[in-house]
Structure 1
Amino acid sequence: MTQSSLKSFRDTLEAIVVALLLAFVIRAFIVQAFKIPSGSMLETLQIGDHLLVSKFAYDVRLPSDIWLDTTDGKVLMKTGDPQRGDIVVFLFPEDESKDFIKRVIGLPGETLEVRDKVVYINGQPLDEPYVMHTKADTLPVRDNFGPVVVPEGEYFVMGDNREGSYDSRWWGPVKRSKIVGKALVIYWSWGSLTDIRFNRIGTLLN
């Protein structure tokens, strides 16, 4: 191998290593890609939407596979708290190997109740323009729930597709430490190879 070929090989190898390190840092600390697998967040999120999730919206933390003392990762700095209406990705309480995505509805310390499909926070009806209802019937738990007080350090989350979402109404609030991050933007969307939803690409989520 000539001197110039060796230099070119080293330069290429260095570029690959730097790119891999940057990808690791971005994935571990900054953003995570997430694909919508179900219709629980319709109409806001469609099956086949691909999202970028901010991992530093609420905390800056070491990844759990680096910080071995806890499955949640060590928090280096708190950057904010989840707010009502935030769309968040979190570790599913019944199986933490799975990521779930829902909307924050109830904050710590609030009293939450669902009456005839309407959510009440501290006795006041909540304005929810994002909600989709697909069934007219009413069922216990799904459409009439509570009242319950959301524990400190936990968040009550629900899907926008209220009759098609398995959420805090069944398995309880989500601990703040289990929230991975906040959904920011749709970077890709398709229903199939022949159904690319160009109009959804770049949509900011709120």
Structure 2
Amino acid sequence: MSAKPEKEERGHRLLRDILETVALTLLLLLVVRLTVQHYYIDGPSMEPTLHNQEYILVDRLAYLFHPPQRGDIIVFHYPRDPSVDYVKRIIAVPGDTITVIGQTVIVDGVTLHEPYTNPNDPASLAVYPPIRNLVIGPDQYFVMGDNRGDSSDSRQWGTVPKQDIVGKATLVYWPLGANNFGLLPDESSVFAGIK
């Protein structure tokens, strides 16, 4: 007589376990979707750091507890068309004074020595007019591509408002054979002399 209720109880436990597993999986997928997003690199503006047709992961919560930092690679909504996302490197943050003349970038009086820029980019000398002593406003960020001669960036269309920043690029995950596969390097040391 007790065999039938035991079978029913095992069936209920199995069903409950399956439902809990499905619910936890859906919750985990939702959390991942809200915190991490993938992006496709379309174009050479971030060479040699990021290559055309690569896929990256972006941490959407990176700036929840601290502001974006100089040297961070960010994904943001293009200020002139928010339906388009761009990826660039932050060069100056709110309150900084920036000068850009040819390949020379000076932030708060410190000339940057940028190992991440494309050294084989002779076009970078004449692409944009010089910027002299531009003070970055509150909640604004001056961004540039690492491939300076082939990058539409703050030199052309101005600063990026903080509310347009989607998140911080953290990882290249495709293609597997790329020379930059994995975590993106921390370039904060380039800006260490800026007070």
TM-score, length-scaled by structure 2: 0.79
Report the equivalent of 1:164.
Answer: 150
Q: Is 1:23 the counterpart of 2:29 in the alignment?
A: yes
Deviations 1:50-99 (A, max 9, x none): 2121122111xxxxxxxxxxxxxxxxxxx111111111111111111222
- Report if aligned partners of 2:145, 2:151 keep a CA contact under 8 Å in 1: yes
| 1:85 and 2:76 are equivalent in the alignment | no
User: Cα 1:8–1:199, aligned 2, differ >3 Å: closer, same or farther?
Assistant: farther
Task: Tell me: CA distance 1:27–1:148, structure 2 relative to 1, closer, same or farther (3 Å).
Answer: same
The letter for the 2-side match of 1:87 is I
Mapped partners of 1:90, 1:49: distance in 2: 17
CA RMSD between the two structures: 2.4
Q: 1:152 to 1:21 in 2, by over 3 A?
A: same
- Residue 24 of structure 2 is aligned to residue 37 of structure 1: no
3-state SS of 2:125 partner: coil
Q: CA deviation at 1:14?
A: 4.7
Which secondary structure state, in structure 1, belongs to the residue aligned with residue 50 of structure 2?
coil
Q: Distance in 1 between matches of 2:131 and 2:32?
A: 40
User: Given the alignment of the two structures, is residue 202 of structure 1 paired with residue 179 of structure 2, yes or no?
Assistant: no
Report the Cα distance in structure 1 between the residues aligned to 2:184 and 2:126, rounded to whole angstroms.
Answer: 33
Residue in structure 2 matched with residue 138 of structure 1 by the alignment: 125
The question of whether the paired residues in 2 share the 8 Å contact of 1:186 and 1:205 is answered with no
Residues 1-206 of structure 1 mapped to structure 2, 5 A cutoff? 11-12=17-18, 14-28=20-34, 30-59=35-64, 79-133=65-119, 134-136=121-123, 138-139=125-126, 141=128, 144-189=130-175, 196-197=176-177, 199-206=179-186
Q: Percent identity?
A: 40
C-alpha contact (below 8 Å) 1:39/1:47 kept by paired residues: yes
* Conservation of the 8 A alpha-carbon contact between 2:104 and 2:111: yes
Is the Cα contact below 8 Å between 1:188 and 1:200 reproduced in 2? no
Q: Which runs of 5+ in 1 are unaligned?
A: 60-78, 190-195
Comparing both structures, which one devotes a greater share of its residues to helix?
A: 2
The answer to which structure has the higher strand fraction is: 1
Deviations 1:144-186 (A, max 9, x none): 2233111111110000000010011111111112211111111
Distance 1:205 1:34 in 2: 18
Cα offsets for 1:11-57 (capped at 9, x unmatched):
545533432222122111x2111221111100000112221211221
For the residues of structure 2 that align with 1:81 and 1:178, how far apart are their CA atoms?
13
Check whether the contact 2:100–2:132 (CA below 8 A) recurs between aligned residues: yes
Specify the structure having the higher radius of gyration (Cα): 2
Ranked by relative contact order (alpha carbons within 8 Å, sequence separation 6 or more), the top structure is 2
What is the rounded CA distance, in whole Å, between the counterparts of 2:43 and 2:58 in structure 1? Answer: 17
CA distance in 1, matches of 2:123, 2:44: 18
User: CA 1:154–1:33 in structure 2 vs 1: closer, same or farther (change >3 Å)?
Assistant: same
